[in-house]
Amino acid sequence: MLGLTPPSPKSACATTCGDTRTPPRMDDDIAAKVAQHPCYNAKAHLNFARMHVPVAPACNIQCNYCNRKYDCSNESRPGVTSTRLTPEQAADKVLMVAARMPQLSVVGIAGPGDPLAKPAVLFETLERIRQKLPSIMPCVSTNGLVLADHVDTLKELGVEHVTITINATAPDVAAQIYPWVYFEGKRHSGREGAAILLERQMEGLRACVAAGILVKVNSVMIPGINDQHLEDVNKAITAAGAFMHNIMPLISDPSHGTWFGLNGQREPTAEELEDLRERCDGPVKLMRHCRRCRADAIGFLGEDKHAEFASSTSMSVEEMEARLQRREKYLRYQRSA
């Protein structure tokens, strides 16, 4: 059976989970929402697994650090996937993985494009998953450009966790990260596009908070561009009600083919990243256990098993039901532990 042994603290937390500070007390409602979510709760990632279903075919912005790749099993970073699934295929795969991995508690939709660039595909996927496995927590990651338009529908489909990537609050900074934004049938370039994106991101964040959806904000630290600006981002998302801030280092390996990588933009050092995180350590929880997952990641954070689930494995209805019952028992036990 796959996925029955949680990763050891040493292997899963070798570099980013050594934070021993006592976290602030959360109210009971929020604590319940994050108890089994490995991304929103550092302790949960030792006992609960997640999977990403790559159903998003397109994106409505261009980021200088992004290059979406298909069939690239050797890269582990956002935007990379071995294939793209239809909503029906995604729901079937979630059921199959849940049957073989009882610790699976979250299904995320984070790529390879932006899930809300084609909202009908996202909504069909969420509905199909809910019908097949109502106990699983759906999670959506987005650039936030059109998030505000769809918060009510996401809430109706059971989404209580949304991640928004916000790399700036100043258009002049954002224009160095985003060459263009496609909004309301038109491509907007440079500062104009950046200003539209930033305004819409904060609008989406506030709408999610008002709807009771927990928001994690991802920010990519880019030396010389936004590294001195992300403190302002942290203050802005704190004021808007974000739950968590995940400050990630830029990946700029030239072999990935991104604009930043091909043009010599350096990555931050570990010391620079930690210094920035310390400066941003305040009311909003900081995520320090991120593994920068692929768009088709499966398993515990830091122990991706997507390759082991690349092809479906036949299973009788009886065996499927028995395994899913075992999963429900596991989740109930963990809730009561």
How far is 116 from 126, CA to CA, in rounded Å?
Answer: 12
DSSP state for residue 117 in the 8-state scheme: G
Q: What is the per-residue pLDDT for 259?
A: 92
What is the residue extent of each domain of the chain?
39-336
What is the value of pTM for the model shown? 0.83
39-336 — its CATH code?
3.20.20.70
Phi, psi of 157 (to 5 degrees): -90, 10
Q: What is the per-residue pLDDT for 292?
A: 67
Q: What is the per-residue pLDDT for 5?
A: 44
Beta bridge partners of 188: 181
Q: What is the pLDDT along the chain (337 residues), one digit of tens a residue?
A: 344 444 433 333 334 444 444 445 567 788 888 887 778 777 776 788 889 999 988 999 999 998 865 333 333 345 455 678 999 999 999 999 999 888 899 999 988 899 999 999 999 999 999 999 999 999 999 999 999 999 999 999 999 999 999 999 999 999 999 999 999 999 999 999 999 999 999 999 999 999 999 999 999 999 999 999 999 999 999 999 999 999 999 998 898 889 999 999 999 999 999 999 999 998 888 888 776 666 787 877 667 666 677 665 667 778 888 888 888 888 887 777 6
Number of Cβ within 10 Å of residue 8's Cβ equals 11
Beta-carbon contacts of 42 under 8 Å, excluding residues fewer than 6 positions away, are: 17, 19, 287, 288, 289
How far is 33 from 10, CA to CA, in rounded Å?
Answer: 26
Full 3-state SS string of 199-217: HHHHHHHHHHHHCCCEEEE
